[in-house]
A = this chain, B = another copy of it.
Amino acid sequence: MSTSAFSERQTIEQVEEGVELSPKFDEHGLIPVVTSDFSSGEVLMHAYMNAEALTQTIKLGEAVYWSRSRECLWHKGATSGLVQRLHEIRIDDDQDCIWLRVDVQGGASCHVGYRSCFYRAIPFGDQADEPLGFTETQKVFDPQEVYGDAPNPTKL
């Protein structure tokens, strides 16, 4: 496969059972990306790539996303130093989602300061009326120190 261009999506068999990379980008030109810790399997974050971000990720061996809030390429760790080094990149059956398995230099991936963005559990079943429960109690870094006054990416 060439990293400068992806294959055209021609048949379902090619997309599902083939060995050509032919990712499907949505109406905004984006593909969702799940990033997990290679050692622990913990899901660290969920983000998006455009074609250029995917191409750069493949070339560089480090996660490069498309920031929807800042509308620019986002080489993860450029500000915080918490670069995500790739162990493996996978693509799903219909090639509309990417899974990155990474090592995080510094141990955190969440702008709030936690290891994973998924630091709260939703009670379910008999417990469904309970509040969210924190699964991490200690932040790995202080966001104020790392990001200073940069705008918070969370949108209401």
Interface residues of A (CB under 8 A from B): 1-3, 9-12, 15-21, 24, 32, 34, 36, 40-43, 45-46, 57-61, 86, 88-94, 97-99, 110-112, 114, 117-125, 128-135, 152-156
With A and B bound together, what is the CA distance between A92 and B46 in angstroms? 8
Cβ contact within 8 Å between B45 and A92: yes
The dominant DSSP class at the A interface is loop
19 contacts between A and B (CB under 8 A): A1-B128, A1-B130, A2-B129, A11-B156, A16-B154, A20-B132, A34-B46, A36-B43, A43-B90, A43-B99, A46-B92, A58-B123, A58-B124, A89-B122, A91-B118, A93-B112, A93-B154, A94-B153, A97-B118
